[in-house]
Structure 1
Amino acid sequence: MSRAIVHMDLDTFFVSCERLINSQLEGIPLIIGGGDRGVVASCSYEARRFGVRSAMPIAMALKLCPQAKIVKGDMERYSQLSHDVTEVINEKAPIVEKASIDEFYLDITGMDRFHGAYKWTNELAERVVKETGLPISFALSINKTVSKIATGEGKPMGNLEISEDQVRPFLNPLSIQKIPMVGDVTFQLLSRIGIRKIQTLAEMPAEVLHRMIGKNGLEIWKKANGVDNQAVEPYTERKSITTEHTFSEDTINMAQLKSVLSGMVEKLAFQLRSEQWLTSTVVVKIRYANFDTETKQSKIAYTSADHQLHDKVMELFEKLYQRRMRLRLVGIRFSGLVHGTYQINLFEDTQEMLSLYTAMDYLKGRYGFDAVMRCAGAALKPNTKNEILNRKHN
């Protein structure tokens, strides 16, 4: 029996959230972002017609579409509305994976035994719109890759069904850029040898692609052929990543404590981005010399950015550490995780900031975490016996 996998995607989510509370924004070019030196977090279809795209500098976007209205954005509101949509879907769907703040995968294999899978999915989408006011697109197919590509082809408010025998005819004429994992670099590489359509890519020998691109080449070849065995991973907000540091000698040195916390934040944030997680809850833990242990936590807008997480950790630490006794341990936990990338936190950032993160992550990934570090966190020596780094799936 073929699997029945649904991909659901909230159309221009940030834009839709703003229009939900201000109907005057309907039908006009709208850009969500921050500051003249910031970048576009999201934009309406009206703005896209002028060439405006996500991650584009605001200044460039305004040159392309000077009549666009700029809205700074409110991640707290967006996070709450995302949670509302999640609750509606979770109530009805048997297996749900929240892939990011605005997209979901559902495994409804076997639903046809009771009533049509497509009819059921369409009714769920209508319920999301009715109960949250947010537009949503979906596609139903045999795996994650095909359903995600089909959702993109059906937007806005599209509802597509791609059966097993329709997969290749559907994929073949599309650009290889539609395939997840094919970024600009890979596209340019393949384009230079005349591979621009998925059919051409699917028909070339897999070994050739492997030699050209490496291990990802085989995965891209499989996706071009409509093959994807990835399971829909049930979504839970109880996943967390944690790090703790036990001092060799109990300390009350505030400079040392904050330096260690900075390094811990940087390491965890890098792990979040490497594994494509966003966190919505920050917890700080301290243990005094007499073994009394205290924690304090705070909900935040989904993020994986060092500077945002650093500020929240320091704020919690200042509130938590009131007894001025020596400390033997400090710890940080990021929980309430959802899959996603740093792009949803562009409201306060400049292109320079995003480029800095990209460069630092590249160096850390290639040469090791301590290849490049912020000075504030240099006191923390990674991978020492006193540091416990673990990832929990509760």
Structure 2
Amino acid sequence: MRTDRQIIHMDQDAFFVSVEVRKNPELRGKPVIIGSLSDRGVVTSCSYEARKFGIHAAMPARMARMLCPHGVWVRGNMDEYSKASHEITEILKENVPLIEKASIDEHFIDMTGMDKHFGTLKYARELRVRVMKETALPISFGLSVNKTVSKMATNECKPNGELNIEKPVVQPFLNPLSIRKIPGLGEKSFIKLSDMGIRRIYELAQVHPEYMNSILGKNGIGLLQKAKGIDDSPIIPYHEQKSIGTQSTFKNDSIDLTSINHLLTAMVMDLAFELRQQHKQTACITVTIRYSTREDVTKQASIPYTALDAPLITKAKELFRQAYQKRLLIRLVGIRLSNLVNGFEQIDLYAGSEQQYSLCQAMDRIRRRFGPDAIKPASVINLDI
């Protein structure tokens, strides 16, 4: 792994709010809050003006109303946010050699070696201007020697900023920052380190590796490396984003559409659970059927980013109806979820269905405790096809 890498991290500023402002410029400069106003609702995103009142994502709506009674609430539209995300990704893909889509609103770009042909910082600035010009959406970037430092640089210069952290100043840049700003540092680890008196990155960087391993295990060693500005993780090319899928071959060829639809429900629920366990979202679903004649038919659809059961089940059944046109016996059905990005909580809280989100969370807790087969739809318990 080269030590002189050139990694750009590009992150949209208050992405969902920015999309709403693009649609309705009258919202510009106002404390905009995206989410549900119901008593059980939560804040899903908010403008920087709203953040000045202490509002943040996942905050209960009731508390947000108390902190900012004059806030402008917007329900939000996941379909529009997904489309805007694809707009940005396409622009970046056309202009850089290697790109990773880290989440719906952030990308890593590897420009290592390209600095011999042109200045990476100059190119990053030009790329940022191009994205803003073509999408009318604000974006910030950090440039540094690896993914961790470039992401932290972006976080320090937002909103509407840019920051270049060259190799000689990586440690001086990191040292005074709170350990909370290290990507991947969870709340439990933060509390444990804080109780030990470790609150700044400089203090964390001095801890002996064996001691970090004893208190936080393998994760502790990773955090220690990040505190020292070390991160060898590669850029994962966007077109190689992993997909997950499953298929079921029937004991006997079947035309029992009711049972097949029940099976599709169970298959989607299993895949969606796996997505949530990986903290990922999907933006593409594919359904395949194989007739008794061995002919395969595949139908695919792009969807708003989600990891919720309900919208995926609905789309899977719709694609199955489109695929099943010959009225022949079916031998196999398969489902694949692709175009995966990180961020289950980040996005599905914004999807407009607190009930669906809460149900999935409750079911996931039971599955994690008692196993993935602990909960199944009643319709598939005795399914035999």
TM-score (norm 2): 0.91
> What amino acid sits opposite 1:29 in the alignment?
P
- Deviation sequence 1:141-188 (CA, Å, 0-9, x none): 110001101111111011111111111111111111111111211111
Native 8 Å contact 1:256 1:379 kept in 2: no
> What amino acid sits opposite 2:306 in the alignment?
T
Task: Determine whether 1:216 maps to 2:216.
Answer: no
1:1-394 equivalence runs, <5 A: 2-36=4-38, 37-236=40-239, 239-321=242-324, 324-346=327-349, 347-350=351-354, 353-354=356-357, 356-358=359-361, 360-361=363-364, 364-365=367-368, 368-376=371-379, 378=381
> Offset at 1:138?
0.4
> Offset at 1:34?
3.3
Native 8 Å contact 1:10 1:135 kept in 2: yes
> Offset at 1:363?
5.2
CA distance in 1, matches of 2:211, 2:382: 47
- Deviation sequence 1:189-231 (CA, Å, 0-9, x none): 2111111111111111121121112221111111111110011
With over 3 angstroms needed to count, the CA separation of the structure-2 counterparts of 1:310 and 1:376, relative to structure 1, is farther
CA distance in 1, matches of 2:47, 2:269: 34
- Tell me, which stretches of 5 or more residues in structure 1 are unaligned? 387-394
Structure with bigger RCO (C-alpha 8 Å, 6+ apart): 1
What secondary structure, in the 3-state scheme, does the structure 2 residue paired with 1:231 have? coil
Native 8 Å contact 1:179 1:223 kept in 2: yes
What secondary structure, in the 3-state scheme, does the structure 1 residue paired with 2:230 have? coil
- Tell me, which stretches of 5 or more residues in structure 2 are unaligned? none
CA distance in 1, matches of 2:375, 2:184: 27
> Offset at 1:295?
2.8
Native 8 Å contact 1:304 1:342 kept in 2: no
> What amino acid sits opposite 2:213 in the alignment?
H
CA distance in 1, matches of 2:341, 2:383: 27
- In structure 2, what is the equivalent of residue 390 of structure 1? none
CA RMSD in angstroms, aligned pairs only: 2.3
CA distance in 2, matches of 1:73, 1:117: 36
Native 8 Å contact 1:269 1:305 kept in 2: yes
TM-score (norm 1): 0.89
